[in-house]
């Protein structure tokens, strides 16, 4: 595509492409996803985009629960209020794959990391410090579910916007354009980017839904799409669907919220609720 950045007066306002500069898309090809038994965000699609007025980070909100470690089977249930976007020091990180490590969700792990004394203006140094923290407290040898994770990060470094994508095998850093966590989403983005009536928020939202349908991942990817805008001073503004209040420290908190009806679960198999809580008791 032609030019690298989107020029938006208001990222939420529907604006014709005649007032925008068309984005260039850069694709992160990710490895085959495997996730830990039980709760997962296996089908997650993450997208980040650099615009004239800030960096947009987006993620779907669907979380799936499986009855076995075989994620080729139908999930027991899913819910549509999972938070997959977090503040990592002064930056933003979005996470796909396993939603937690061991008995800790990423919200709690990141919260603990944010309390340590480390501080650096570099996006990549901050992420590498986070990886070192993970290696120390949650080594891959003991927590192989870490191999499933893919990350998108964004923020401003010395006034320059940066977005970064990481899976188990590579790092990509961009100072323009767009990154997505699955190369299969490329064609859906291209199709929607050709529609002049769409704003960048609408474009990303439609791309995620088209990807879910086209890749037959409608049980795995969906729900309201969460959007965060990172301003040039690294101020963070939630644009749509802030589910950060749904961050739980560990599975017992999560399942208690399900039991109390604070999380609306959609069951996909007969006696799904019964099977879900039988699994929790095990």
Q: What is the mean pLDDT of residues 31-59?
A: 69
8 Å CB contact between 182 and 45: yes
Name the pLDDT band for 112 (thresholds 50, 70, 90). Answer: very high
CA 233 to chain centre: 22
Q: Which long-range contacts (CB under 8 A, 24 or more apart) does 182-186 make?
A: 182/28, 182/30, 182/45, 182/211, 183/27, 183/28, 183/29, 183/30, 184/211, 184/215, 185/27, 185/45, 185/47, 185/211, 186/25, 186/27
Tokens of 237: 């503004």
* pLDDT the model gives residue 70: 57
Where do the H-state alpha helices sit in the chain?
Answer: 106-114, 123-137, 186-193, 200-214, 251-259, 272-281
For residues 145 and 32, the model is more confident at 145
Checking if the pLDDT of 28 tops 70, the result is no
* pLDDT the model gives residue 252: 83
Q: What is the pLDDT of residues 62-88, one digit of tens each?
A: 998 887 665 667 888 899 999 999 999
Identify the three-state secondary structure at position 193.
Answer: helix
Indicate the range of 5-9, 52-56, 122-126, 216-220 predicted with least confidence: 5-9
* pLDDT the model gives residue 131: 93
* pLDDT the model gives residue 6: 38
Name the pLDDT band for 5 (thresholds 50, 70, 90). Answer: very low
Highest mean pLDDT among 9-18, 169-178, 258-267: 258-267
Angle between helices 272-281 and 251-259 in degrees, nearest 10:
150
Instruction: Report d(CA 75, CA 73) in Å as an integer.
Output: 6
For residues 167 and 112, the model is more confident at 112
For tokens 């996470």, what's the residue?
95
% of the chain exceeding 70 in pLDDT: 82
Closest CA to 165 of 50, 10, 8, 54: 50
Q: What is the mean pLDDT of residues 30-53?
A: 60
Q: What is the pLDDT of residues 214-251, one digit of tens each?
A: 999 988 999 999 999 999 999 999 999 999 987 887 88
* pLDDT the model gives residue 249: 78
For residues 178 and 7, the model is more confident at 178
């Amino acid at each position: 595509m032609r030019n690298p950045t989107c020029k938006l007066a208001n990222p939420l306002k529907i604006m014709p492409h005649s007032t925008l500069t068309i984005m260039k898309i850069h694709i992160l090809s990710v490895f085959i996803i495997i996730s830990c038994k039980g709760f997962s965000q296996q089908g997650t699609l993450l997208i980040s985009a650099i615009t004239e007025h800030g960096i947009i980070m987006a993620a779907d909100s669907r979380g799936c629960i499986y009855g076995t470690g075989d994620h080729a089977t139908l999930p027991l249930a899913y819910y549509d209020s999972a938070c997959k976007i977090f503040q990592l020091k002064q930056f933003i990180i979005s996470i796909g794959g396993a939603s937690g490590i061991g008995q800790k969700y990423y919200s709690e792990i990141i919260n603990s990391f944010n309390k340590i004394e480390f501080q650096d203006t570099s996006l990549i140094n901050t992420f590498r410090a986070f990886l070192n923290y993970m290696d120390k407290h949650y080594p891959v040898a003991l927590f192989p579910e870490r191999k499933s994770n893919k990350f998108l990060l964004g923020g401003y470094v010395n006034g320059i916007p940066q977005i970064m994508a990481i899976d188990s095998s590579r790092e990509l850093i961009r100072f323009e354009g767009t990154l997505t966590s699955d190369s299969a989403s490329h064609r859906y983005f291209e199709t929607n980017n050709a529609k002049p009536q769409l704003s960048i928020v609408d474009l990303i939202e439609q791309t995620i839904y088209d990807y879910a349908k086209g890749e037959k991942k409608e049980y795995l990817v969906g729900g309201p799409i969460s959007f965060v805008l990172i301003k040039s001073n690294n101020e963070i503004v939630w644009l749509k669907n802030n589910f950060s209040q749904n961050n739980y420290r560990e599975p017992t908190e999560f399942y208690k919220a399900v039991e109390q009806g604070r999380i609306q679960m959609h069951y996909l198999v007969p006696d799904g609720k019964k099977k879900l809580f039988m699994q929790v008791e095990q």
